[in-house]
Amino acid sequence: MRHRNGFLLMEFIAALTLVSALLLIAGQWWQHQSKVQQRQQWLDHTDYLLQATERFWLEQGRPPHDYTELSQSLELEALVLPWQQPWRLTYEVSLLRWHISAPSQQQAHWFASHFQAAQVVDDEVILSQWAPLHEASGEQYLYRVARPDKPELNQLAVHLNMQQHAVNGIGNLLASHGNLAQLEVDSLLVNSATIADLTTQLLTASSIQTEHGDLQQFFDQISAYEALWNECRSAGGCQ
């Protein structure tokens, strides 16, 4: 009977250990699922905020000054804010930026990777939202086709950074200043240029100035000296 009781106790301890391990695994799985669900809620509610902002922008003709202005279109109490941090909004011309602080750069980069036009500065996530097309003024866009009544709409108001991309098919290029690492053209007309190093098969110029003077005058002097030399040799001298 004592042996039987001993076996029952060992079986009970083994079963208790197994149940405890299963509960531990289940708890870890539940915590992981809760974390995944919470992160998905952050993404879904942020996307919903962006959509609500676009509707507000179209209806009011302006962006919201704060996300709490969207209370008429959604329940703020039900929002799950990322990392329980409030959003901060800044506005430029036709561009609304959403700022939020993350606990670390790693989490900031994870969150930013799920949204277009998102960037990370230190541990802050910045989402950029452009004005809706129907709200934005047509005066702020560059037209592909010329507007004779408004020539300023075919003029850039900012510097253009091509990010190492090429500009192809240029028929005529007029520039007041150029800083080029490499230039390949079939024909080039330059009024004035300062060049440190030039390698070319053919150079046609009406005037070339060097640190010693005009190159054309130098060639004329060489031609005059050559004519005098030939004349001297013809007379029997200048051997």
* H or E segment to which residue 95 belongs: strand 95-101
- Residue 79 in domain: yes
Of the candidates 89, 96, 55, 87, which has an alpha carbon nearest to the alpha carbon of residue 72? 55
pTM above 0.85, yes or no: no
Q: Which letter does DSSP use for residue 106 in this model?
A: H
Q: What is the pLDDT of residues 27-52, one digit of tens each?
A: 666 666 678 888 888 899 899 889 88
- Residue 188 in domain: no
- Coil/strand/helix, residue 128: strand
As a whole number, mean pLDDT of residues 224-239 equals 76
Q: So what's the pLDDT on residue 113? A: 93
Q: What percent of the chain has pLDDT over 90?
A: 16
- Residue 149 in domain: no
| Residue appearing with tokens 């047509």 | 138
- Residue 215 in domain: no
Helices (H) and strands (E) in the chain, counts: 3, 6
- Residue 46 in domain: yes
Q: How many domains does the chain have?
A: 1
CB atoms within 10 A of CB 49: 22
CB atoms within 10 A of CB 89: 17
- Residue 33 in domain: yes
- Residue 60 in domain: yes
Q: Range of 40's domain?
A: 15-138
- Residue 112 in domain: yes
Q: What is the pLDDT of residues 157-197, one digit of tens each?
A: 777 787 788 888 777 777 777 777 777 777 777 777 777 77
